[in-house]
Structure 1
Amino acid sequence: MPERRKATPLRRTTLLRAGLSTALLLSTVATGLGTQASAADTPSPTPATRAPASAALITAMQQDLGLTRAEATTRLKAETTARTVERAARRAAGASYGGSWFDAERGGLTVAVSDSSRSRAVAATGARVAVVRHSERQLDATMDRLDALDAPSGVSSWHVDPQSSSVVVSVVAARQDDNDVQAFVSRARKAGPVTIRETRQAPRTFAAGTVGGDPYYTGNVRCSIGFSVYGGFVTAGHCGQAGAGVSGWDRSYIGNFQGSSFPDNDYAWVNVGSGWWTVPVVLGWGTVSDQLVRGSGEAPVGASICRSGSTSHWHCGTVLAKNETVNYSQGAVHQMTKTSVCAEPGDSGGSFISGDQAQGVTSGGWGNCSSGGETWYQPVNEILSRYGLTLHTA
């Protein structure tokens, strides 16, 4: 959750965070690292002399991903390289591009191609090559056909899975024998290459009623701030409709929802004024230091990722899938990214970040941070593009 606070003596911890964030930002400007990121995929270059992440972030990855300090550091560096390789490999694969994923054990990117004649050109980018049956374009066409179907509540989600070269449909285990679920599965199989998998629970959004903490409020709904943009911040669409007023943790007025979409999408943006300000920071909640945002380079499937929210604060995991349609009770939401990170009510809208690169805003999921679960986010670059916003970066 980016730091944006109204200066007041009522909140010592907030003032401390604001001071630390300002110090981080001033330090960055002084060393000549100030940049701006537009709606395009814009990772900032990482100088060889700069560590891939703070020591506290690496500690959090050790705890949540079961890594040693050396393994966490090595993984972050490899993931930074993978982001660059993926763009070059996609160009080299052309129409045969079948998707990609980060292999944590090997420490590199695997790129799928449906035409083996493109393998040498893709391998030349530094990626490992896997020859598959279907291109991403063919799998996306299957996704479009599934998105046109009405899904029952027993169907959790569906997404393009490059490793199986199919569209994976997740069905709630306890509902898999329901007639309406079986009928949907039958129609899905006719739509193209489909794999059926079980999941434990149906997804839900993570908004919450009014409680204390460090939130923003829309009426009696509490959600979490995502990322600073010039003029405001981005967050989840289910947290408020366009025009709705927004107040901060102290209930003072911040601004209004300038645009909002839910379902179909789950994104929104809020303008910031009335003495509030924005800085390119994601709160670490004392688990890690507050994290500077330096760009929005998209992390591949398999990459490590962390989330910040006003209820469960800071947790990490990995990217499990992209371009997934999530079937909430309110309606389907498209082009989401699934992660192994937990979340809880009130975390909606909060930040997903990989290293120092903004990834997306928390939408919903299943489970909690005691027993575990899965959480989806709406990719931030789509939000920036939709509303013509510019990410506020350090």
Structure 2
Amino acid sequence: MKHARRNVQRIARFAALGGLVCGGLMVSHAVASETPGGPSAPNAETRAAATGQELVTELGTSRTAGSWIDAEGRPVVAVTDEKAAAEVRDAGAVAKVVKYTMRDLRSATESLKDAPRVAGTSWAMDYTSNQVVVRADSTVSATEWNRMAEVAKSIGATVRMERVDGTFTPRLNGADAMFAGSGRCSAGFNVTNGQADFILTAGHCGPVGTTWFSDQQGERQVGATVSGSFPGGDFSLVRYDAGTALKGADIVAVGNGQGVRITGAADPAVGQRVFRSGSTTGLQSGDVTGLNATVNYPQGTVTGLIETTVCAEPGDSGGPMFADGLALGVTSGGSGDCAKGGTTFFQPVTRALDTLGVKLAADPASAGRSTPSAPAAGGGGAGSTDNGGAVPPGSSSAEPGGAVLPGAMGSVETVPEERADAVTIALDKVAEYKNLGPGLFLIAGSMLALVALRIRSERGRKRYRSQYSQSWG
């Protein structure tokens, strides 16, 4: 009987020691996963976006009607037959069988383009409802609304009409401001063609030849607009003045001296959470609600835009939109403001880079660091966010070797863009404790078990000594 008790105690002791070791490994793994300074894997939304876009490309436009990210963060693909649905499920995504194909939706948008232009209207493909949504702002009269409604009716059930508050206007007047005679805009992303360096910003900010300054007084010249597109597209290049050194060229500032390192470019997915930085309203976030959007601004029609719920105000034009360290777009225009919300449209970065023949600029001080190339438009690619360390000191363009950083002047410290958002900071904290919790719980339980076994063992020894002394004393 005594031997049986000893064997049970021995097994329990080994189990407690094993739990202590396992708990230690769990904690060390959790801490290692939270340690900054090295590249991190793309987050779940970026991976989901890439999965959905790849499946759409593989299955083709006759069997699919877009993809999006659902409320649980899963990639969803709209398909037109059960065979395609089975292929989607086999790939680990969610399939939704719909009536209209991508070809049907594109045909509807082409019919809308051929209709008489009405300023204050927009349309975008809503993959989740399998329709093209036409929106009209407050400037569209009842007569114009009825005319658009007749066009929508003639196209069929692929089109849905909606009224929205506010006015669709370019957000002229941005992340740090650039000033010109036509107003002010934001620097978007630093780009290069291998021979010269540029700022990628919105095309409506100013025509070719516009000279830009980093101050309202016009004393610190940044450069001049050398090419662009507006209307049609909404992007342009501002060439830096000769002698400008791009320090922290791959950083987007998010306020409070902090920034996010941009490692590549991609196209977003419907349902994806995105961030925008601008000089008027700073860092803001929201969701992508539509792709391939067309907006009829008073100044002209722009096509191929990204539709979002991110707010923006005059002065935010040209500012960068990004997520998970990937450049996604530059601010074009929209309706509403950051007090009551609204709709904001963005020029996709991938299309602008391809059209202009440039690529995202890397920080010269980070030579040797791998920077993924921009995926092709529609590829949705994934990149990793480098969260390590501080950006090499930068300065405004008035200083020797200075440069206008996208989103801010001067040096910034890199952080994941999620940490720049107050809500996400709280979520990150919860996640950290969630990762550490099981390991700490296992360590605590194992230590308690060892203490209990030790106490029990000591009591057994005392009882034995007492019996021994009574027998031989």
Contact preservation (8 Å) 2:278, 2:319: yes
How many aligned residue pairs are there?
Answer: 321
Q: Which of residues 254, 261, 285 is equivalent to 2:222?
A: 254
Q: CA deviation at 1:268?
A: 0.8
Cα distance between partner residues in 1 of 2:67 and 2:35: 22
Matched, 1:183 2:147: yes
**Does 2:275 match 1:301?**
no
Shift of 1:142: 1.3
Unaligned runs of at least 5 residues, structure 2: 1-31, 363-370, 372-473
Which residue of 2 is the match for residue 67 of structure 1? Answer: none
Distance 1:347 1:174 in 2: 22
> Does structure 1 residue 140 correspond to structure 2 residue 106?
yes
Alignment-mate amino acid for residue 127 of structure 1: A
Q: Which residue of 2 aligns with 1:102?
A: 69
Q: Is the 8 A contact 2:79 2:96 kept in 1?
A: yes
TM-score after normalising by structure 2: 0.63
**1:321 is the counterpart of 2:317:** no
Equivalent residue in structure 2 for 1:373, among 334, 339, 342: 342
Q: 2:57 aligns to what?
A: 91
Q: Distance in 2 between matches of 1:93 and 1:343?
A: 36
Cα distance between partner residues in 1 of 2:86 and 2:301: 39
Residue number in structure 1 paired with 2:136:
171
Question: 1:30-49 maps to which residues of 2 (within 5 A)?
Answer: none
Query: Is contact 1:96-1:135 (8 Å) kept?
Result: yes
Per the alignment, residue 359 of structure 1 pairs with: 328
2:167 equivalent to 1:199: no
Quote the Cα distance in structure 2 between the aligned partners of 1:233 and 1:318. Answer: 25
Per the TM alignment, residue 304 of structure 1 is displaced from its structure 2 partner at its CA by 0.6
Higher alpha-carbon deviation: 333-342 or 273-282 = 273-282
Aligned to 1:268: 236
Indicate how the Cα distance of structure 1 residues 214 and 371 shifts in structure 2: closer, same or farther if over 3 A, else same: same
CA contact (8 A) 1:217 1:251 kept: no
| Conservation of the 8 A alpha-carbon contact between 1:112 and 1:131 | yes
Counterpart residue identity of residue 320, structure 2: S
Matched-pair contact (CA < 8 Å) for 2:126–2:289: no
How do 1:210-229 residues align onto structure 2 when only pairs under 5 Å count? 214-229=176-191
d(CA) in 1 for partners of 2:33 and 2:333?
34
Query: CA shift at 1:174, angstroms?
Result: 7.9
The letter of the residue matching 1:322 is L
The answer to whether the Cα contact below 8 Å between 1:83 and 1:297 also exists between their aligned partners in 2 is no
Give % identity: 32
Alignment partner of 2:250 out of 253, 275, 280: 280
Residues 283 and 344 of structure 1: CA distance in aligned 2, closer, same or farther (over 3 Å)? same
Contact map agreement 1:236 1:361 (CA 8 A) in 2: yes
1:167 alignment partner, SS class: strand
Query: Given the alignment of the two structures, is residue 159 of structure 1 paired with residue 124 of structure 2, yes or no?
Result: yes
Preserved contact between residue 188 and residue 330 of structure 2 (Cα < 8 Å): yes
In 2: Cα distance, 1:377 partner to 1:335 partner: 9
How big is the alpha-carbon RMSD for the aligned residues of Structure 1 and Structure 2? Answer: 2.7
Of Structure 1 and Structure 2, which has the larger fraction of its residues in helix? 2
Structure 1 pair 138–310 and aligned structure 2 pair: CA distance change class (3 A): same
Per-residue CA distance 1:92-129 (angstroms, 9 max, x = gap): 322312101111x2221110012332111122222100
Q: SS of the residue aligned with 1:264?
A: coil
- Spell out structure 1 runs of 4+ moving beyond 3 A: 49-54, 172-176
Tell me by how many angstroms 1:308 deviates. 0.6
Matches of 1:146 and 1:346, distance apart in 2: 30
Distance 1:164 1:83, change over 3 A: closer
CA–CA separation in structure 2 for the residues paired with 1:120 and 1:183: 42
| Match in the other structure for 1:117 | 83
AA aligned to 2:240 is V
How many angstroms apart in 2 are the aligned matches of 1:199 and 1:251? 41
Once the 2 structures are TM-superposed, how far is the Cα of residue 173 of structure 1 from its aligned partner? Answer: 6.2
Q: Do structure 1's residue 391 and structure 2's residue 360 form an aligned pair?
A: yes
> 1:216 is aligned with what amino acid?
M
Match of 1:238 in 2: 204
Q: Distance in 1 between matches of 2:64 and 2:245?
A: 42
Q: CA deviation at 1:182?
A: 0.5
Task: Write out per-residue CA displacement over residues 24-65 of structure 1, whole angstroms, 9 at most, x where no aligned residue.
Answer: xxxxxxxxxxxxxxxxxxxxxxxxx776999xxxxxxxxxxx
Could you state the TM-score of these two structures normalised by the residue count of structure 1? 0.75
Does 341-350 or 81-90 show the bigger shift?
A: 81-90
Would you say the 8 A contact 1:92–1:122 is kept in 2? no
Distance in 1 between the 2:299 and 2:77 partners? 35
Q: Which moved more, 1:92-101 or 1:378-387?
A: 92-101
Letter in 2 for 1:326: V
Q: Shift of residue 144 of structure 1?
A: 1.5
> 1:127-183, CA deviations, whole angstroms, 9 ceiling, x for partnerless residues?
100111111122112112211222323x5311111122121111236857x112201
CA contact (8 A) 1:367 1:373 kept: yes
- Which one-letter code corresponds to 1:101 in the other structure? W
SS in 2 for 1:283: strand
1:53 and 1:315 mapped to 2: Cα distance? 24
Residue 220 of structure 1 and its aligned partner are, at CA, apart by 4.5
Structure showing greater Rg: 2
Q: What SS does the aligned partner of 1:366 have?
A: strand
